[in-house]
Structure 1
Amino acid sequence: MDYEVPKEFGFTEDKIFGWVMENEEFCLYVLRIILPFLEIKEVVEFNKQDSLGNDQREAKDIRLDIKVVDKDGRIFDIEMQTSPSKYLGRRLRYYQSTIDGAKVLKPGHDYSELPDTFIIFLCSFDPSEAFSKVNNRAVHFFKTIDTKDHALELKGYY
């Protein structure tokens, strides 16, 4: 007898995704698989459905599916994306700016105090329409780079 699991009970469904990812050991495992070069040791903060607002009343708020902070102070935002959009890159950019905006630097403080931030979009669709195709890879890393001669790279983390 074949039994088909209803779509609303799949891993991509918001509540199920949150329920599975709130297991901190599993969440740490996922981060280590996706970003092995970071050698993430320990999670010190974990939030599910963390809302970040903007001081401007008309600005759009964001809700982070899973927000993790490791012992080195790095912030990881893990998002489940189920709706294809050619504006996925802009969404990522907005999330990045809102996360950065939540950390207020006081006058005289240095930009080095901003934590390294990693936004991970787990897509239930092929996100390639939102990005230029270079090759067929499951994981993409983005940098801010001079598009004219590619000689200058703006580093966002060190």
Structure 2
Amino acid sequence: MKKQFSNLDKLTLSNDFLFKHVMLRKRICKHILEELLHTEIADITYLEAEQTIEVYPDSHGIRLDVRIADTANTHYNLEMQVKNPVNRATGKFLLPKRTRYYQAMLDTDMLQKGQDYDELSPTYIIFFCLFDFFQDSQRIYTFKKRCLENMNIELADEAVIMFLNTLGTKGDVSPDIQSLFDYINSNTI
């Protein structure tokens, strides 16, 4: 029994188990979302922790770490990403297409037969990364779809993907978010 406790003592916030348990603390999770998005959220509801979504029995499913909705019906998926996965055969990084697939699966799970597309909820897929995927030292990389011919035109599909680079040095974040990043990186406050 003593060995189990000593193993738990070594867990850090980057551990999937601990990350989920911390994010399941409503006050903490709500505060993190408010700080990241610079908005006030009245309340959040946990839709399902570690939810598995499979469209067909033989399709590639996904398992979400933490899935939340707020009172405005915006949906959030929070993920901890410790490693930067690479396809060994092609050498391509998998994270961008993983976010695309997660977005598609979330949308598929959201609409029922007969519902209009405008009933899709706004979504945020947020990856806490212990590496700088884009190698630009930004603390936060936020993606929305834009027109290549005129970057002022945004496709208003209300889908946002955020990569949080806990090692980043560029861009402003609140002191609380920086403390969270520091804690994830060093496990000290």
> TM-score range with shorter-chain normalisation?
0.7 to 0.9
What is the CA-CA distance between 1:146 and the residue it aligns to?
Answer: 2.6
Task: List runs of 5+ in structure 1 lacking aligned partners.
Answer: none
What is the CA-CA distance between 1:60 and the residue it aligns to?
Answer: 0.8
The CA RMSD over aligned residues, in Å, is 2.3
Partner of 2:22: 20
What is the CA-CA distance between 1:59 and the residue it aligns to?
Answer: 1.3
Q: Deviations over 1:56-91 (max 9, x none)?
A: x32111111011111111100000001113221111
- The 1:45/1:15 distance shift into structure 2, 3 A limit, reads closer
Residues 82 and 124, structure 1, Cα contact 8 Å, conserved in 2: yes
In 1, distance between residues paired with 2:19 and 2:94?
Answer: 23
Task: List runs of 5+ in structure 2 lacking aligned partners.
Answer: 1-6, 86-92, 160-189
* Correspondence list, 1:73-112, <5 A: 73-85=73-85, 86-107=93-114, 109-112=115-118
Partner of 1:156: 157
* Aligned length in residues: 146
TM-score (norm 1): 0.81
Residues 111 and 119, structure 2, Cα contact 8 Å, conserved in 1: no
TM-score (norm 2): 0.69
In 2, distance between residues paired with 1:98 and 1:44?
Answer: 20
- The 1:7/1:81 distance shift into structure 2, 3 A limit, reads farther
In 2, distance between residues paired with 1:46 and 1:20?
Answer: 16
Residues 24 and 46, structure 1, Cα contact 8 Å, conserved in 2: no
What is the CA-CA distance between 1:46 and the residue it aligns to?
Answer: 4.2
| Percentage of pairs with the same residue | 27
What is the CA-CA distance between 1:151 and the residue it aligns to?
Answer: 5.7
* Correspondence list, 1:126-137, <5 A: 126-128=132-134, 133=136, 136-137=137-138
Structure 1's consecutive aligned runs of 4 or more residues displaced over 4 angstroms after TM superposition are 5-8
Q: Quick check: 143-152 or 17-26, which moved more?
A: 143-152
Partner of 1:30: 32
In 1, distance between residues paired with 2:45 and 2:37?
Answer: 17
What is the CA-CA distance between 1:150 and the residue it aligns to?
Answer: 3.4
Q: Quick check: 78-87 or 6-15, which moved more?
A: 6-15
Corresponding position: 1:140 with 2:141 = yes
Corresponding position: 1:68 with 2:40 = no
In 2, distance between residues paired with 1:15 and 1:75?
Answer: 21
What is the CA-CA distance between 1:47 and the residue it aligns to?
Answer: 2.4
